[in-house]
Amino acid sequence: MIVRIMGEGQLEVSDDEVSALNGLDDAVEQAVEAGDHEVFAEALGTLLTRVRELGRPVGEDFLHDSDLILPPPDATLEEVRALLGDDGLIPG
């Protein structure tokens, strides 16, 4: 799966790893729903760090749509609230 972190580029993350990220996504979603800016910032940072750890950078010459787009690390709670779908940021 190709994951884009807005403002940073694309990473290839195995499907098995994406499903493991759902718990971190749940923490982001819960913080957004609670309106807790501090917990939100920590949860989003943890999610993005884990994606960077698990992902393999995709070369800039690789032209492929992203399967999943995540907000940048400096995204606000309100910006992420607008991005959340029924399944959070990561479907599944």
Q: Collect all residues with Cβ–Cβ distance below 8 Å to 64 and sequence separation of at least 6.
A: 2, 10, 58
Per-residue confidence (pLDDT) for residue 34, from 0 to 100:
96
Torsion of CA 17, 23, 29, 30, to 10 degrees: -170
DSSP 22: H
Band (92; pLDDT cuts 50, 70, 90): low
Please check whether residue 51 lies inside any domain of the structure.
yes
Q: Collect all residues with Cβ–Cβ distance below 8 Å to 84 and sequence separation of at least 6.
A: 29, 32
DSSP 58: P
* 20-31 mean pLDDT: 92
Please check whether residue 91 lies inside any domain of the structure.
no
Please check whether residue 56 lies inside any domain of the structure.
yes
Taking 90 as the threshold, does the pLDDT of residue 20 lie above it? Answer: no
Band (61; pLDDT cuts 50, 70, 90): confident
Please check whether residue 90 lies inside any domain of the structure.
no
Counting the structural domains of the chain, the total is 1
